[in-house]
Amino acid sequence: MNFEEYIEEDKAGFVEKARAISCKLGIDPNWLMYVMYFESRLNPKARNPRSKATGLIQFMPRTAISMGTTVDKIRSMSGIEQLDLVYEYLRPYKS
């Protein structure tokens, strides 16, 4: 699947950063892209109206708070900025 067609801002920068994060996590970049596609169709502004889950991997409000932010702040971030949070969220599950 070509995930790049779903990235609306700075495709090259997003893909490069996703690959770097995948390398640090020891996972296949396609797996990371698939998870984000499944969760949000790679739309950093995606928001579930019922649960208020937001962003690339649909951060729940409590998860956002535990990471020192809010779903509103996440929603205001670009996809590239959200990748830092994706990394922080997935880091404990490295490899």
> Measured between alpha carbons, how far is 12 from 61 in angstroms, rounded to an integer?
29
Degrees to nearest 5, angle at CA 40 with 35 and 46: 150
Q: Is the pLDDT of residue 4 over 90?
A: no
Residue owning tokens 């390398």:
23
- Is pTM beyond 0.85 here? yes
Q: What is the mean pLDDT of residues 59-85?
A: 98
> Measured between alpha carbons, how far is 92 from 75 in angstroms, rounded to an integer?
23
Q: What is the mean pLDDT of residues 8-19?
A: 95
The one-letter amino acid code at 50 reads R
Contact residues for 36 (Cβ-Cβ < 8 A; gap 6+): 3, 18, 42, 56, 57, 86
